[in-house]
Amino acid sequence: MAATILLVEDEPAIQELIAFNLQHAGHLVVRSNDAEQALSLVRHALPDVVLLDWMLPGASGVELARRLRADPRTRTIPIIMLTARAEEGDKVLGLEAGADDYVTKPFSPRELLARIKAVLRRRAPQMTDDVVEAGGLRLDPQTHRVTGLDQTISLGPTEFRLLHFLMTHPERVHTRSHLLDQVWGDHVFVEERTVDVHIRRLRAALEPSRLDTLVQTVRGTGYRFSASTD
């Protein structure tokens, strides 16, 4: 599981230590020293997770968390607050501001990595390496292998990401623009009909195992992955 992590921390030594450990674990780290810089980085490209120090020069980590939660574009980014303050009231304040989790300094790199994995699993299951199985399909993100009723299904990289997203967000209707954001990435200019092209390719790959019906068109809205039989 390699995620792009925005690290907002003003203490150079701590920033360096955390960045080193995250990079060592395979993550891509984007660093920021304060809330303003963090916001401009987020405007440029959405990270998968934000690690947010509570005490920052200028706007605090709590204020930044509130601003990220208030904007529809950044509302669902997982946020983990980093803080030296262990008081219960602070924890509640951090969580109320929209943080998903809270790590008290000093923390071990292992603990931080486990927390990152946990928030990704909750908020963005397509970011983890967990095997997904539904309706006879099995997708392994680690080996990039997909099988349908035990037959190997070969998919292009986009179809693979599309199927992974759909399987980890089943029974929900996704609009084309939502799929573009989630599968193609933020700020990538792709026409909405591109989604249709890749859905067609995905279905064609699933057809020999007769699992193409798992990927359903919801007329006028978008697409849905459904393994339910009714």
The stretch near Ca ion (CB under 5 A) out of 5-13, 15-23, 103-111, 133-141 is 5-13
**Nearest distance, CB of residue 26 and Ca ion, angstroms:** 26
R_g (Cα) of the chain, nearest Å: 19
**Nearest distance, CB of residue 195 and Ca ion, angstroms:** 42
**Nearest distance, CB of residue 53 and Ca ion, angstroms:** 4
Which is nearer to Ca ion, 66 or 169 (by Cβ)?
A: 66
Q: Is 221 exposed, middle or buried (0-12, 13-18, 19+ CB in 10 A)?
A: exposed
The first and second tokens of residue 183, run together, are: 């599968």
Element spanning 153, H or E: strand 151-153
CB-nearest residue to Ca ion:
55
- Rule CB under 5 A: is residue 130 a binding residue for Ca ion? no
**Nearest distance, CB of residue 14 and Ca ion, angstroms:** 7
**Nearest distance, CB of residue 32 and Ca ion, angstroms:** 12
**Nearest distance, CB of residue 55 and Ca ion, angstroms:** 4
Which is nearer to Ca ion, 10 or 140 (by Cβ)?
A: 10
Which is nearer to Ca ion, 83 or 182 (by Cβ)?
A: 83
Which is nearer to Ca ion, 51 or 155 (by Cβ)?
A: 51
Which is nearer to Ca ion, 1 or 55 (by Cβ)?
A: 55
Q: Please, which of residues 161-200 interact with Ca ion by CB under 5 A?
A: none
**Nearest distance, CB of residue 142 and Ca ion, angstroms:** 36
- CA 108 – CA 118 distance, rounded (Å): 15
220 touches 162 (CB < 8 A): no
- CA 145 – CA 85 distance, rounded (Å): 44
The number of CA neighbours under 13 Å toward the Cβ of 14 is 20
- Of the candidates 222, 210, 100, the one whose C-alpha atom is nearest the C-alpha of residue 166 is 222
- Of the candidates 76, 70, 108, 104, the one whose C-alpha atom is nearest the C-alpha of residue 90 is 104
Element spanning 42, H or E: helix 35-44
Phi, psi (deg, nearest 5) at residue 4? -90, 120
Which is nearer to Ca ion, 82 or 155 (by Cβ)?
A: 82
Binding-residue pattern over the window 35 to 74 for Ca ion, x denoting contact by CB under 5 A? ------------------x-x-------------------
66 touches 35 (CB < 8 A): no
Candidates 4, 10, 113, 130; binder of Ca ion (CB under 5 A) is: 10
Which residues contact Ca ion by CB under 5 A? Answer: 10, 53, 55
